[in-house]
């Protein structure tokens, strides 16, 4: 499948039924377009099975709750819809995007309690999110924006509004020839990339930012469990920017990113070392098991 995302053959599940791709539209006065009342999930299906699909569906519902937006479906119903979409499109390996949002309705202002909460599930065939950086090591810029305090926005939600600075930061990074950008948080600690969590290696031990103002990614959780099963010490903690110079290896994790090594962040360089290669290989085996 190729071409613009609004002009493709295929099917998208919307509000309980499969809709031809080009007809999966919303009204211009959809609340989410004006006030960012939207949450989503990104998932991958490998060989006909969505990796941690139920966990993703549960997190979607939780994100809705955090935005005071009750999604009118259960985990079971969302799972059924995902597989119906995949079957309709004939896919066994694909990226899956579940999206819930406040639609158009009786309200058109900040308050929108009378507007329906809608749900759509789309998908597409997608290769490596970072292209050949998956093998050679991604190059990261350092974003000028910072991840916000949980006192300003529900940072535990996978909410569309939280990604505005991600788009701007990734555009700026790409203009410099980088694959992505690294955020610091509102306190100045190392946080995450625009759509992925980050890990570092020093003297055989792994360090990763504490998810107290960033999303505790499902891939992040999976990789931490894998590292501990291998007997590798994992430190979840606040990481100062000055520590980047002392780390020897680095990688990103995310449903789209999977496990992608990082070769450079700003002026700091990292090797694609043994732990990075092994955890990437082990993750590939796990998701396809």
Q: Which residues are catalytic?
A: 158
CB 1 within 8 A of CB 10: yes
In this structure, the dihedral spanned by the alpha carbons of residues 72, 78, 81 and 86, taken in order and rounded to 10 degrees, is: 150
Q: Strand (E) positions, the chain?
A: 11-14, 17-20, 38-46, 49-50, 94-102, 117-124, 138-147, 180-185, 190-193, 197-202, 205-209, 234-237, 249-254, 258-265, 268-269
Alpha helices, DSSP H, located in the chain: 31-35, 53-66, 75-89, 133-136, 164-175, 218-229, 274-287
Cα separation, 268 vs 244, in Å, equals 7
Residues 6 or more apart whose Cβ sits within 8 Å of residue 90: none
3-state secondary structure of 197: strand
Bridge partners for 118 per DSSP: 101
Residues 6 or more apart whose Cβ sits within 8 Å of residue 5: 124
Bridge partners for 120 per DSSP: 14, 99
> What is the phi-psi region of residue 142: left when phi exceeds 0, alpha when psi lies from -120 to 50, beta otherwise?
beta
CB 56 within 8 A of CB 50: yes
CB 27 within 8 A of CB 103: yes
Bridge partners for 142 per DSSP: 182
């Amino acid at each position: 499948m190729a071409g613009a995302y609004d002009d493709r053959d295929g099917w998208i599940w919307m509000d309980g039924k499969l809709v031809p791709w080009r007809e999966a539209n919303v009204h211009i006065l959809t609340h989410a377009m004006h006030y960012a009342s939207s949450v989503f999930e990104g998932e991958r299906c490998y060989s006909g099975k969505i990796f941690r699909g139920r966990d993703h569906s549960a997190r979607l519902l939780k994100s809705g709750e955090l935005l005071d937006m009750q999604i009118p479906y259960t985990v079971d119903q969302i799972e059924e819809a995902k597989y119906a979409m995949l079957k309709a499109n004939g896919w066994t390996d694909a990226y899956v995007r579940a999206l819930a949002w406040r639609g158009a309705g009786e309200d058109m202002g900040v308050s929108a309690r009378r507007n329906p909460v809608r749900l759509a599930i789309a998908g597409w065939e997608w290769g490596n999110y970072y292209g050949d950086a998956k093998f050679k090591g991604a190059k990261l810029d350092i974003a000028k924006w910072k991840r916000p305090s949980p006192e300003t926005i529900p940072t535990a939600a996978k909410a569309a509004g939280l990604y505005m600075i991600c788009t701007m930061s990734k555009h700026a990074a790409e203009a410099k020839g980088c694959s992505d950008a690294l955020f610091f948080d509102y306190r100045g600690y190392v946080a995450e990339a625009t759509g992925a969590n980050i890990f570092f290696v020093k003297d055989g031990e792994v360090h990763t930012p504490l998810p107290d103002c960033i999303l505790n990614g499902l891939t992040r959780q999976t990789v931490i469990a894998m590292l501990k099963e291998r007997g590798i010490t994992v430190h979840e903690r606040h990481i100062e920017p000055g520590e980047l110079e002392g780390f020897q290896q680095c990688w990103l994790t995310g449903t789209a990113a999977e496990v992608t090594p990082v070769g450079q962040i700003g002026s700091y360089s990292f090797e694609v070392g043994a732990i990075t290669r092994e955890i990437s290989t082990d993750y590939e085996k796990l998701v396809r098991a």
